[in-house]
Chains A and B, each alone.
Chain A
Amino acid sequence: MPESDSAAPPAAVRRRPTPISIAVWTAVALLGASGWAVLALARGEEVSAAWLVVAALGSYAIAYRFYSRFIARRVLRVDKTRATPAERLDNGVDFHPTDRRVLLGHHFAAIAGAGPLVGPVLAAQMGYLPGTIWIVVGVILAGAVQDMVTLFFSMRRDGKSLGQMAREEIGPFGGAAALIAIFAIMIILLAVLALVVVNALAHSPWGTFSIALTIPIAFFMGFYLRVLRPGRVTEVSVIGVVLLLFAIVSGSWVAESSWADTFTLTPGTLVIWLVVYGFFASVLPVWMLLAPRDYLSTFMKIGTIVLLALGVAFALPTMKMDGITEFAGSGAGPVFAGSLFPFVFITIACGALSGFHALISSGTTPKMIQKETQVRMIGYGSMLMESFVAIMALVAASIIDPGLYFAMNAPAGLIGDSVQSASEAVANLGYTITPEQLAAAAKAVEEESLLSRTGGAPTLAVGISEIFSAVFGGAGMKAFWYHFAIMFEALFILTTVDAGTRVGRFMLQDMLGNVYKPFRDVSWRPGAWIASAVVVGAWGYFLWVGVHDPLGGIYQLFPLFGIANQLLAAIALAVATTLLIKSGRLKWAWVTGIPLAWDVAVTFTASWQKIFSSDPAIGFFEQRSVYRQAIEDGKVLAPAKDMDDMHTVVTNATVDGVLSVLFLVLVLVVLIDAARVCVKAIRNPAESRLTEVPHVKSELVAPAGLWPTREEKAELATAGAAPAKGSDPGSPS
């Protein structure tokens, strides 16, 4: 059945803009434009981070007010007379019309994690300008659009997942490719996030001890919620946060005590611990570890993001990094290889465009939404918030000395292992920092060394400690804030590792269930154990490889992670575009079609270069053949130190190259299948079938945005006079 555009557009009453609103929006536009102007015109002098924030916020406001409204009204034609799944299927638990502000909070907490904090930090090697422009323009035209449109289509299908929508609307072939791609992408995601944690905790007794303490803290919280006082989440979270702060403080005592050696671990040891943790965390009952950890990391996440916004607003730091560095053009940067196009757009995924959000937008959130009109605020709005988190991470990375930035983010093979060699290496990159300054920077945060702390988390932590200590506590608090930031990132990365391993296990069990039936039964313990071991083994392998790669794990694997995430976005945008075309909205297909085309251009160029480039720093197979040749000639190429290293490089390059090919092929299958369906729908519109749930009249009255408009207030007042609002379900499930 064709999409019901029969319902009269609710926007029929078109109010003329008042002079006041015209004046306000002109002022917002001018303010945002002035931010961009300052960023664009600054040459050589240091710019205040305030301008960057102003440019971003001004652009978000304009985009939300005009573009997201256009998408909601004209493209999606959200219909406030149509009951949402939450209203129709209300069962008090899974499906329930949830207050829009509460759902915004839940959705934001679910989409924002370590991603928007890590990518922008790494992309800062090309200067702050390319990253800023992509984060702001990308979120407005691509990322927020993807989230909102996916949320809308899933909502119209009772909260079906992206994979299910791909199967039903495109076909079994494309659907299967999408499922395998999602699984493979999940493995790389977990490996790279775990690598960030390993790099942050290696040789750091303070950090390792604090993070280790979070496990007993989580056990205690789990016990409290299960046995002592069930459901008292606020209480237990307050206790948890206090214990967590104690864990951070006590880390500094441990670092100075005789226990320090016990908690000073090499990256290899940390990998083993993480794999063991990941396995047990995913087979233990949810209430023991995952649920309490989830509460803890959510509280920490929201709290720290608010603190960071306040810190940036009060400290108003100036940016020390150049607007654009020479690595943008040369492609020879030490953090990741390749030039601005396509690699900035790969490195910054979360914050601009993140395919993973499509999994959240097509899962829990659409089952809770009160009113169709609220997809704008929840889908588009919360992605703008995540984008702002990415902007703040970029600020934090850009206010530290560029010399320190490069000493922290270049691989060990380049930097060497002494402050002297690092200082020289940084000078070769075109920046200056003295060995004394490097030693002082490490001492300020009470770490043994900050050299080659790749992965973004430590750099962000140094930036955050600068900002926070300027506002709260002064220079004496720097070490505390540094470890606070490390703790906060490691905490929610570990939560993601735990939850992600479970999801991976679940997907694998589902796939294996096709071969051997009992696997599908999630309560069959051997199945759960085997599938968990496979998933943990898979990401553990890449983590191990990343830690031991002579070229640097982040340098090699992060581009692969970025490509994977953006390919997932390509799948989501392809599904969305197909749905727009199938529902007879070809003239609006550009809304998701343009971001799709851009995303395909970026990911396919990047994959192409990763597979075929003749520059061994970029192309995996070229790298492989160069190192192979050298092995045959009996030579050792830097940064490898011996023949073992040489063989490691060859193996890793092969695996990474094969994986790039696999991702590309899977997504190509989805895209071709989607294109086939689109062409068919355009040729023969009458034939196309949508799986949309039919229109049921909505009885609920609820505002669309954060603040009710005058008409909405009137509607609410009328509804308030009538029988009690909402909760009574028309047709229970």
Chain B
Amino acid sequence: MSGAAVLRAGLARRLARFRAVWRELTGEAVYDRYVAYTRARDPHAEVLSRRAFERWRVDRREADPREGFRCC
């Protein structure tokens, strides 16, 4: 019984860690990081909504397309 529970907890932990790395890989975690970063410096700071933040992030590439450039 408890053996199975331990196994399940281990599996859940692994899945959570995989999910975290995956979200970092795809860039989905950037927003969370931005919020955490802004809040950490000033708990009352105004934080962009996810929609506004993602727009800002994509549109920035307009200004300097060298960011995120890929190779041959």
Contact = CB atoms under 8 A, between A and B. Distances in A.
Interface string B20-63: 01111111101101101110110000000011011101110111
Interface string A86-114: 00001111101011011001100111111
A135 interface: no
A114 B37 CA distance: 37
Interface stretch (A43-51, A225-233, A541-549, A580-588): A225-233
Contact of B30 (A93, A225, A356, A503): A93
A294 B32 CA distance: 22
Contacts of A231: 28, 30-31, 50, 53-54
A93 B58 CA distance: 12
Contacts of B59: 285-287
A531 to B, nearest CB: 11
A506 B71 contact: no
B17 to A, nearest CB: 11
Interface residues of B, number: 37
A291 B31 CA distance: 17
Contacts of A360: 69-71
Contact of A359 (B33, B36, B71): B71
A615 to B, nearest CB: 28
Given A92-B33, A93-B30, A233-B27, A499 B22 contact: no
A559 to B, nearest CB: 15
A565 interface: yes
A115 B72 CA distance: 5
A109 B68 CA distance: 10
Contact of B61 (A226, A286, A354): A286
Contact of B28 (A98, A110, A234, A523): A234
Contact of A503 (B40, B54, B55, B65): B65
B71 A111 contact: yes
Contacts of A111: 70-71
A356 B72 contact: yes
B33 A294 contact: no
A522 B37 contact: no
Interface string A361-377: 00110000000000000
Contact of B72 (A91, A505, A565): A565
A100 to B, nearest CB: 11
Contacts of B54: 225-226, 230-231
A287 B65 contact: no
Interface in A459-516: 492, 495-496, 499-500, 502-503, 505-506
A113 B22 contact: no
Contacts of A234: 22-23, 26, 28
A98 B20 CA distance: 12
Given A92-B37, A728-B40, A110 B71 contact: yes
A727 B37 contact: yes
B62 A99 contact: no
Interface string A681-713: 000000000000000000000000000000000
Contacts of A99: 21, 24
A533 to B, nearest CB: 16
A521 to B, nearest CB: 10
A500 B65 CA distance: 9
B72 A101 contact: no
A350 interface: yes
Contacts of B53: 230-231
A102 B70 contact: no
Nearest to A292: B58
Contacts of A503: 65-66, 69
Contacts of A91: 37
B70 A506 contact: no
B34 A93 contact: yes
A666 interface: no
List 5 A-B pairs, minimum CB-CB distance, nearest first: A92-B37, A115-B72, A502-B65, A230-B54, A233-B26
Given A90-B37, A233-B26, A350-B72, 11 more contacts: A115-B71, A231-B54, A291-B61, A357-B71, A359-B71, A363-B69, A502-B65, A505-B65, A522-B63, A522-B64, A727-B36
